[in-house]
Structure 1
Amino acid sequence: MFRGTPSLTLLLVALLAALLVAPLSPTASATPPQRLANYVTDEAGALSGAQLAEVQRAVDDLYSARRVRLWVVYVESFSGQTAQTWTQNTMRLSDFGGEDALLAVATGDRAYALLVPDAAAGTVDVDTLRRNEVEPALRAANWSGAAVAAAEGLAQTGSGTGISWVGMVAMLVVVGLAVLALLLWRRRRARTRREAEYAAAQRVDPTDPGALATVPVEALDELSRSIVVEVDNAIRTSDNELALAVEEFGERDTAPFTKAVADARTTLSQAFNVRQILDDAVPETPQQRRDLLVRVIVAAAKADRELDAQREAFQRLRDLIINAPSRLDALTQQLVDLTARLEPAEQTLTSLRAQFAETALTSIVGNVDLARQRLEFADQNITNARTLVARPAGSQGGLVDAIRAAESALGQARMTLDAVDSAATDITRAVAGLPDEIADVQNGIRHAGELLGQPSVPRADELRAARDAATAAVATAQSEGGADPLGAFTELTQADADLDRLLETVTEERETAERLSRAFDQALYTAQSRVRSVSDFIDTRRGSVGPEARTRLSEAVRQLEAAQAKRGTNLPDAIAHANGAATLAGQAQTLANVDVNNAQQAYVGRYGGGGGGGNTGAMIGGIIIGNILSGALRGGLGGGSGGGWSSTTFGGSGGGFSGGGGRF
């Protein structure tokens, strides 16, 4: 064993301690904030002699151009302070004023700050200068280039130049012409826009307030003015025509037209009242004006619609009077033709009575007598109408009623005779088609029975009722079809149609339900998978996942439970809940991924590139509850990495600052 003197032993211990401590000491010298004596201070040895002269020249040029003093300092380190704090303190110690700016660079820390008072910045965007010119030069270790870029950037601001009075006059003339041209262009453009807006407003339904709500107020005003004039003219014209019509047709026949004109006049009067409110001296708010204009347009348009609704009928009434002689000739011919059909129809009815039971002919048994009565009534009205036509205009009251009564009576006589003529054909066709119709209905009855035998059939009560009605119709057709084939056939076809319609509806609803059930199963499976997956992810990384992801997952679970609860009552809602659960689970996964990544970066940044071995995974997984969530992950990391900065005043300079700093 080595043995030495006590003094030698103490010396070895001191040397060993120095070696152990040396690696833990910072290699770069830390420089505290200081009072600057020179415009360019290089304590880091960053500049050569030529570069120092270049930076000094750029600083001097800035002062000559704008009387702004740019100070530049290079150090190894900012002594543990942020770049902005170190620069602030240096500016305070240096008694900087409103025209003093400072670029501070820590070459060892790779940090910097450029702070410029607002008075010194002028029109220069200091943040843009810092990001686009200064910082790129620092990243390339171009220390002098960064300072030169800062000085030249601060020098780029507006400067006054002398302008002769001739140039000033010329400039004013040019500006005046430009303003005049702009005014003319804007006026023409405004006129074109108003014309286009008015044309568009005319295409809008004027009775629809919702459609008018999208029309500009100026176009509404112009539209309201034109529409009240047009409708007022229409009412005045209608008044004149109505007076002549009443004299010609009488008050009873023109009563609908009289009411339409009166209603239109009342409605238009309301529109004029609102228009008066708009035109008086009391101003309205923009919204009040819009509402009033819409009321005017809607009222006037409704008045016009009331006139239009009667205009066509009014014209037909006038045509009826004008063409009365020819119309009566045509009615007389119809009367003759229908009278000739009475005897053949009577013979046909006798033949049908011999072939079928009386119950089969119930709907037509009295048709011939009814047709004879209608023809006699038509003959009386035609005779009366001819008497009225012979009278002079103004004394033909009742002519329109007589013509219309004759037309209606002849129409009913024709229908009753047609029914007799077609009865034989209809009954024969019913007899021939009855067996096939019975078979068809029986097939529907069997199909309905099969569906009712299955579980969860939609509309089961309605389907059962339709099946029973069809069964009864088949029984009636089989027992009474020979006596009343047409009635049996009619009852069968009605029951068949009702049953077929319901069978189709039930089938469609079953297919829809099956399709929705398949869609729900798929949506539920997807949602359950995503919820389970993200839940496992959070569970194994619980030490790093924050509340946002957990909240989304909790809501996803709630939506999943709602989907399962509504499965038996409302499949569309259940599918919507399942899809919502899947979407929320996806959002929770994204948020959880971000939290885990941030936690990993935080741990590595705090403990170095090696990351502290297995402790990283243990902390992220929540096995070790440590500093990740308590500080680093939730905002305790980073800092000082760019962005803007503002401060209070330094050294009595007054005003604010622009610029900032960070790492490079």
Structure 2
Amino acid sequence: MSDSLWWLPSLLVFAIAGAIAVVGIAALRRATARRDAATDSSLAELQRRAGGLLVRTDNRVQESEDELGFAQAQFGDVAVIDYRNAIDTARRRLREAFLLQQRLDDAEPDTVDERRRWNTQIIELCTSADAAIASEDSRFRELRSTERNAPQQLLVVQTQLAAAEERADEIRALRQGLADRFAPSALLTLDRHLDDASELLVSATGLLQAAALRMQDGGVEPVADALRSAHDEVARSSGALSAGEGAAARIAAAETAAAGLAAQLREGIAEARAVRDGHVDPAAAIALNLCVDQAGMALAEHARAERAGGVAVDPLADLDALRGAIDRLDAATSAARGQQDRLEHARVALGGALVAARSHIAAARDCIAERRSVVGAPARTRLAEAERQLMLAEQESDPVDALDIARRAVRLADDAEALAHYDAELRGH
């Protein structure tokens, strides 16, 4: 090789080294991409499993609570002590799982490790909750496997049915009194629960009659299924009747709360006008003027309802209208109000906000319960978080913070109800 080509071997060495480096980097990138894809796939599967377990475990706990009532009536209080404790344990673990799901659903970004860890914890909690009640469920199913106590079981369910029918008659009488005072729209939820209860009681009556006939004919095996189905119908009717009583109570509570909010709103208007007249910022004055006008319209509508004696009035809608007007007025004047004034104002507003939160949470809970076979984890998670926020609001010593938390509970409950409706529509229910 001539002296002029002394550099050629070095060039070949560097070229080979560069090619190896390029190939190595490309291989590393492909391996990294494969690992990332595998991580995304495994995390998605973990999340799907956790969400499915949340739904199944929530339904399992609800079913076990229904089972507890039948077991208590059939075998006595002492026999169900362990069963009740197992359900309480499962419910606590389920609440922890819903709290973790809420962390995953909130707006704050989570790392991959956090999402994996929290989903794993949800799966563990749900599995543990299910295991806590599985053995008790199995034990009572075995107790009922024999038909020797069929006559006694029939008597138990007949007694439960009679009590439920008497309770339904009382609620119908209560409903008639409300119908004389309020608009039909205020009674829609109550009517729906009463209709559901009536259908279930009719079904339970037919099942018990069929069971009695089979027992007279000497048929044994089918009786247990009929009695069980009859009990389930009576238990579901009791749930519908309780929901109906709750709806009636919310109407009365809304009427009382609306009167208090109207008085608060009148004071708020006067205060807002005083703030507006002494405010140097024209933009703030314009905003206050708008809120004062809106509040005045809400008060006028409330006054019209009072003059009508409650007839053709929906107190729940009236309460929401007044609460909305107060919220807007409060937001418009808070910047110009001193801290002590804000505290006093929040203390007064908090009562109405808590009533509204309880009402919206109850509506969402009823909506999910009626559709629990199709409602997924997001709706249930938001309901659980709304209930937690309401509990925090009730315990919060700072009225300003408590008011904000109560309003957050209302928004979460509304989200839960909307998601439940969406799940039902998606699945054709």
Q: Same fold (TM over 0.5)?
A: no
Please identify which structure carries the higher helix content.
2
**Greater strand fraction, Structure 1 or Structure 2:** 1
